[in-house]
Chains A and B, each alone.
Chain A
């Protein structure tokens, strides 16, 4: 007899309150279903790795903490010689498909399950983020596609800025280790309460809109 896992993937934000305060200063949407892979170039094999990525996805790995995208794959620099490759959908299979491609020129680790991700937008998103992260997120200091690994409270997060999202304005994604999702959510929820906060129902993998990828 085989017992299959009964459900599907669970959201790390399930069961948390969805709304506080008056107004719509900050709107959060959970990002689910992303395939996330950490790619670290092997010693001296960066150009070989870059060639593979260029040939397969048409993108050049960025040197800085920034995101570049091509087709349905985006690459984000997270450390020297290290990137996150992100694809909408594809699940854990993305890492498995990258492994033979990048064999001997990069080390691959699947992190598709490692993060809980919220997309944040709204007129007061910067004022809220100023309470959460100790970095300058002014539009000049943190442009579209900029990325930062930093701390929120005492939690490591990855913050990146997406294209502005009409009519709401500046749009960010905040990534946090899955085990800390509730802690981040509470900080966000209370920080945004004065502006009015709403979490939209989490979209599945088929979520529309310009996201990470």
Chain B
């Protein structure tokens, strides 16, 4: 069945088989396989269709840089598009499908795009679909989207969990190849805290792919031994299946751990993936190098594969890419592929090296194996309808030979993997010795080693890694001795770049994922898009999910040639995080659905649940919206609760208001400076309404201030602004006036506070408190406050009212809140007490014209709110000067008014804009807006508050409330904002 599987173990467990399907057909592989290696073993060559031209594509690489072999993985809610077959660890029951083909991979009608290719060149979006404009949305875009594009996302909710976690270390090593292992070992043995990450599920990097010897044993075995030793060190953590995808400021790195992606589904209580934030004192970049393809005719045909990847498949996965595998190289490394293929018993029909001369040892090794070698030559075409069948080799003198081959290993040299080195803004430097960019300008805490630094020899990688590990350990205060580096064999690592074959036949591709051709680059160059960044955007070179890992360098080099520059001068683009795609679910972590953000519960929450309250999330808090009785609609509940309060007594949890305790010798002076009105004149045992402005003169927040002692105040803030007010006050205390003696303590969580409101509220409190506090009208008049001891616990009573009724707020320690609310209900039972929710609270405050969040909206002044008289002229305070600006005092500013519909049965809507009757709706005619509305149980119709140009001077006028969202306009009468008990008699009774 697996025609192309070679003998031997490699890094597989051959004793076990794993079943999987691709496009519905059943295949099998082994533990240790990737989907790509298992497909190759089964003889599958075409695994995808290309993005633009729908050309057949195979497997190019053996790593995360893969541009071609993108598949849809899994099914149902777990279906994930655009996953790279080269990094999908095979598991039993894996399902994968090819994508971007219709109706089938073998017969794709979209391939007709290839015939249109002269039209689909760089910039075609910008040029072709210009006119008529209306066609873009309706015709062009849907058409292009169907033809181009990649996989399909699952539209179902993601069934998996994701986690976030934090880690700290002395040394983060990115990449567990030879250099990374050496670095981690040197630092780990010294005792430093080390984290070693690798995206692969096996440590060793290219040691698993190449036949190397270290200290007389195989490189793969050496890697396994080092990884085992690292895992045994108490302060070292080896994280495989973990991609360090981003470098951020402050030595912080993002890493994605694929906890369960190698399983059919996550184990119980395991997340699918875990997002790590790693803070590292030092970082060693040992991310290796990426091999670059050569651009030649037919270089996208299935069967054309990078030479290093061919060795990976042969040595690690025991798979042959074809029966007859030719080699086309511009560097010494490609020869290793030829030798490994030959030694594995695979026919190598020809080795084509673009260099006229090669190192003697390569020639000797080639001769020893009897390889047919053509020097100074290139492959100008790879041909075959369903994959490579023959190649055309053109020698120095231009003579062409056709060679039968069903696979072609290609090496244009290696590019150090510089991605992480550029995330913080550093630009790589051109290194002429290796004809590639190397990391440069790194911060002192970061160093690149091994192939990532352009050091391509194994001995150099081991030496450089160990030195960097030692340095990091020493920097963290550990004693790290110099150890003798392991013995390794020498190797040839030379090369001369060959970016593209100028006399290619057939279609050549620079960017395989986005189907960018040399012709596209030529057009861009001709049209002036010559910088690397512009080139990218105009041609889409490197803009695929692979971010140009295999294409950017070739593209830039080609563009340099086209514009007569050196590759070094054109430069390269800065890579940005993430290095490889990261699921949005991983970034969100556990914060989604009901856990999107934390929800604060009020002290009486459990009691409210027991009363079948309906809840509403208001800002951070979940509050009881209403306490409906079976069969009631929302309006009936509202009317019952409001009438219950206004005619009797009601109770409401108002603990959500912010509470800040202010103490100190200068507390009064401090509050005078932060409130617009005078506070220091407040008597002990009294409370006062106060407003705070921002320094720009706009109202910031309002609330009450109570005074318990000469040097002790308690502020309340609005629920929404509690944290901001504390921040503002701390700023005033620490930054503006550090000389004042004032201390702030947030005490919101300490006190549960219940509003007890209505004409019978005093009777309820008398029943509840007994003799614990004197609450008669003389002892505790309107705006008085008292501290007292109740049942051996501290309690506070405030005679304040949001509802406009005779009302109190009773504060008790939060731990006894549940007992207290139940006691209130018991005490109130003979008085027919009603619990009321946010809806009734809001209705009553609108009936009374009290402003709240919708009015304190960050654009309104005290004057706008009808509170101008509160701005003290006797003192300086935050916002005083700028509140007097002409713009904020203009008489035509919209100011607070009330509105009621002329047709009493009409419904008002917040957000409607005021227009003069008959005026067409336009910005110029806008006269203000409705900020809050409610059905008024007392008046029996809808009422609203709003801001109207000219304000209270227009009371009695008729205006239109225009609401384009609902499409309904309501004629309203402008009224005083106070609809109920305008002289406040009920408050003081």
Contact = CB atoms under 8 A, between A and B. Distances in A.
A110 interface: yes
A43 B741 contact: yes
A158 to B, nearest CB: 12
A5 B752 CA distance: 14
A7 B745 contact: no
A126 to B, nearest CB: 11
B371 interface: no
Interface in B210-264: none
A6 interface: yes
B743 A107 contact: yes
A14 B193 CA distance: 40
B130 interface: no
Interface in A91-141: 91-92, 96, 107-115, 130-131, 133-136, 138, 141
Contacts of B399: none
A132 to B, nearest CB: 9
A8 B819 contact: yes
Interface residues of A, number: 57
B749 A178 contact: yes
B815 interface: yes
A173 B588 CA distance: 27
Interface string B646-677: 00000000010000010111100000000000
Interface string B745-759: 101111110000000
B166 A42 contact: no
Contact of B747 (A96, A114, A130): A114
A165 to B, nearest CB: 20
A51 interface: no
Contact of B767 (A3, A20, A111): A3
Interface stretch (B133-141, B374-382, B595-603, B955-963): B595-603
B165 A21 contact: no
A96 B789 CA distance: 11
B634 to A, nearest CB: 26
Interface in B297-312: none
A155 B598 contact: yes
A151 to B, nearest CB: 10
Among A21, A107, A180, A193, find the residue whose CB has the most chain B CB atoms closer than 10 A: A107
A174 B148 CA distance: 52
A37 B750 CA distance: 11
Interface in B513-532: none
Interface in A1-44: 1-10, 14-15, 20-21, 38, 40, 42-44
Given A1-B767, A21-B269, A138-B168, A111 B747 contact: yes
B161 A183 contact: no
Interface in A139-185: 141, 153-155, 177-184
A5 B820 contact: yes
A178 B621 CA distance: 12
Contacts of A43: 664-666, 739-741
A52 interface: no
B398 interface: no
Contact of A9 (B168, B767, B770, B816): B816
B768 A153 contact: no
A56 B748 CA distance: 29
A9 B815 contact: yes
Interface stretch (B556-564, B822-830, B913-921, B937-945): B822-830
Given A112-B750, A179-B621, A130 B165 contact: yes
A193 B269 contact: yes
Given A3-B826, A6-B822, A190 B165 contact: no
Contacts of B111: none
B145 interface: no
Given A10-B819, A180-B598, A114 B750 contact: yes
Contact of A190 (B167, B590, B666): B590
Contacts of B770: 1-2
Interface string A70-96: 000000000000100000000110001
A32 B366 CA distance: 79
Contacts of A63: none
B537 interface: no
A181 B603 CA distance: 11
Contact of A135 (B166, B599, B602, B751): B166
B864 interface: no
A155 B723 CA distance: 12
B888 interface: no
Contacts of A113: 749-752, 813-816
Nearest to A181: B601
B277 interface: yes
Nearest to B794: A92
A3 B279 contact: no
Interface in B759-788: 767-771
B750 A2 contact: no
B163 interface: yes
A109 B664 contact: no
A44 B739 CA distance: 10
B818 interface: yes
B793 interface: yes
A68 interface: no
A92 B793 contact: yes
B823 A3 contact: yes
A5 B164 contact: no
Contact of B591 (A110, A153, A193): A153
A8 B816 contact: yes
A91 B741 contact: no
Contacts of B885: none
Contact of B750 (A110, A133, A181, A187): A110
A92 B600 CA distance: 23
Nearest to B822: A6
A187 B590 contact: yes
Contacts of A155: 598
B665 A179 contact: no
Contacts of A6: 819, 822-823, 826
Interface string B793-824: 11000000000000000000111111110110
A168 to B, nearest CB: 18
A111 B815 contact: no
Contacts of B823: 3-6
A194 interface: yes
Nearest to B751: A113
A191 B162 CA distance: 10
Given A114-B814, A138-B193, A190-B590, A107 B750 contact: no
A24 to B, nearest CB: 14
Contact of B741 (A42, A114, A153, A179): A42
B231 to A, nearest CB: 16
Contacts of B818: 7, 10
Contacts of B600: 177, 179-180, 183
Contacts of B741: 42-44
A114 B663 CA distance: 19
B791 interface: yes
A213 to B, nearest CB: 18
B152 interface: no
Contacts of A40: 663, 743, 745
Given A6-B819, A7-B822, 13 more contacts: A3-B826, A3-B827, A4-B823, A8-B816, A9-B816, A40-B743, A107-B661, A110-B747, A111-B745, A114-B749, A178-B814, A180-B598, A181-B601
10 contacts: A5-B820, A7-B819, A8-B816, A43-B739, A108-B663, A109-B745, A112-B815, A113-B749, A114-B747, A133-B166
Interface of A: 1-10, 14-15, 20-21, 38, 40, 42-44, 82, 91-92, 96, 107-115, 130-131, 133-136, 138, 141, 153-155, 177-184, 186-187, 190-191, 193-194
Interface of B: 161, 163-168, 193, 268-270, 277, 279, 590-591, 595, 597-603, 606, 621, 655, 661, 663-666, 712, 739-741, 743, 745, 747-752, 767-771, 791, 793-794, 813-820, 822-823, 826-827
**Pairs of residues from A and B, 3 with the lowest C-beta to C-beta distance, nearest first:** A2-B770, A107-B663, A5-B819
